[in-house]
Amino acid sequence: MPTVAEIAKRLSDNIEQVIVGKQDAVRVAIVALLADGHLLIDDVPGVAKTMLARSLSLSLGATFRRIQCTPDLLPSDITGLSIFNQKTGEFEFSPGPVMSNIVLVDEINRAPPRTQSALLEAMAERQVTADGVTRTLARPFCVIATQNPIEYEGTFPLPEAQLDRFLLRMTIGYPDATAESEILLRLQLSHPVEKVQQVVATDELLAAQHQVRQIFVHEKVRDYVVRLVQATRSHPDVALGASPRGSLALLRSAQAQAASDGISFVLPDHAKALLLPALAHRLILTPEAGLGGRTARGALAQISQQVEAPVGEAYASEQSG
């Protein structure tokens, strides 16, 4: 069975055939997958959000479905529903698109609240309830959702409970001039996503997700994660800080990053590097901070400088057992 680092390298090399010049974004997506979490991509149209999700699913050979959210989308459009079969005289369940390994939920903030609630059950409980019957989702299961941060007409902002279910949130951003020129060259004759092949089997991914949970975390590093999260609750610009779920998200993501780096223990730098994608979407700013143009990212940048990281510890000196 390959190591987590080998799997991460295969995935990144494969995805970067399609996503040009965005190594950090690809890294965050792979970390979310290895940590068995969900990913929210908050960015403008045309920066390859959909291509990132498709490339990831093709690299795994996993089942992939796309849900295009609209204001009239019903919960049953996501979970599935029972249809009467005239031949058998019985109702048969027709699975919805959420019953796949990788689910791309495009423009999630266009879905009405009831539909968002149905998706919340799938994300949080890894199950769906339709027609009074609860069905367990297949593993691996990862929701990659997108939303346009500059378009508000006809949208339903995600409630905090739903945002909190995303392990990581990121932006991709515009490519630089060199990368954009390379994109034009690669897409001149055909789209590179058409050539993406499976490089990781789903059972290998499941084993890697299990290995990530075994990555050793020194008590000093665990304490550092807790202090980072608790600092969000006392920052003057933050009305509501990250919950213990935020602590777990940051720690699990740091474990996945350490494993991807081929290290058997978590370093403080792993937690610091994932502070923004793990916690920024979990903070609610004060009205004064919003009016002053201050952001959650700015508050976390201050916290990362103010909270002292442990140094000089032999992080690999103990084993998790």
Residue ranges of domains in the chain, CATH in brackets: 4-205 (3.40.50.300), 215-306 (1.10.8.80)
What share of the chain has pLDDT > 70, as a percent?
A: 95
Compute the average pLDDT of residues 38-67: 89
- The predicted pLDDT at position 191 comes to 86
Q: What one-letter code names the amino acid at 62?
A: A
Compute the average pLDDT of residues 105-121: 89
Compute the average pLDDT of residues 141-157: 81
Whether residue 316 has pLDDT greater than 80 = no
Whether residue 321 has pLDDT greater than 50 = no
**Measured between alpha carbons, how far is 108 from 105 in angstroms, rounded to an integer?**
6
Residue 320's pLDDT band (boundaries 50, 70, 90)?
Answer: very low
Whether residue 318 has pLDDT greater than 70 = no
- The predicted pLDDT at position 176 comes to 92
Cβ proximity of 78 and 118 under 8 Å: yes
pLDDT digits (tens, 9 = 90+) for 13-48: 999 989 998 999 999 999 999 999 999 999 888 888
Compute the average pLDDT of residues 212-217: 96
Written as six digits, the tokens of 84 are 């009467």
Say whether pTM exceeds 0.85: yes
Edge-to-edge strand ranges of the sheet holding 39-42: 64-68, 102-106, 142-147, 39-42, 168-170
Mean pLDDT of the chain: 90
- The predicted pLDDT at position 120 comes to 87
**Measured between alpha carbons, how far is 299 from 249 in angstroms, rounded to an integer?**
18
Q: Which helix (H) or strand (E) holds 136?
A: strand 133-136
- Over 179-232, what HEC string results? HHHHHHHHCCCCCHHHHCCCCCCHHHHHHHHHHHHCCECCHHHHHHHHHHHHHH
CA distance to 41, 80, 208, per residue, from 118 (Å): 20, 11, 28
Q: What one-letter code names the amino acid at 35?
A: A
What share of the chain has pLDDT > 90, as a percent?
A: 62
Whether residue 2 has pLDDT greater than 60 = yes
Whether residue 190 has pLDDT greater than 50 = yes
Whether residue 7 has pLDDT greater than 90 = yes
Residue 317's pLDDT band (boundaries 50, 70, 90)?
Answer: low
- The predicted pLDDT at position 319 comes to 47
Residue 90's pLDDT band (boundaries 50, 70, 90)?
Answer: confident
Compute the average pLDDT of residues 69-73: 92
Whether residue 115 has pLDDT greater than 50 = yes
- The predicted pLDDT at position 243 comes to 93
pLDDT digits (tens, 9 = 90+) for 233-291: 999 999 999 999 999 999 999 999 999 999 999 999 999 999 999 999 999 999 999 89
Q: What DSSP character marks residue 282?
A: G
Compute the average pLDDT of residues 142-153: 81
- The predicted pLDDT at position 314 comes to 57
Peptide bond into 175 cis (omega under 30): no
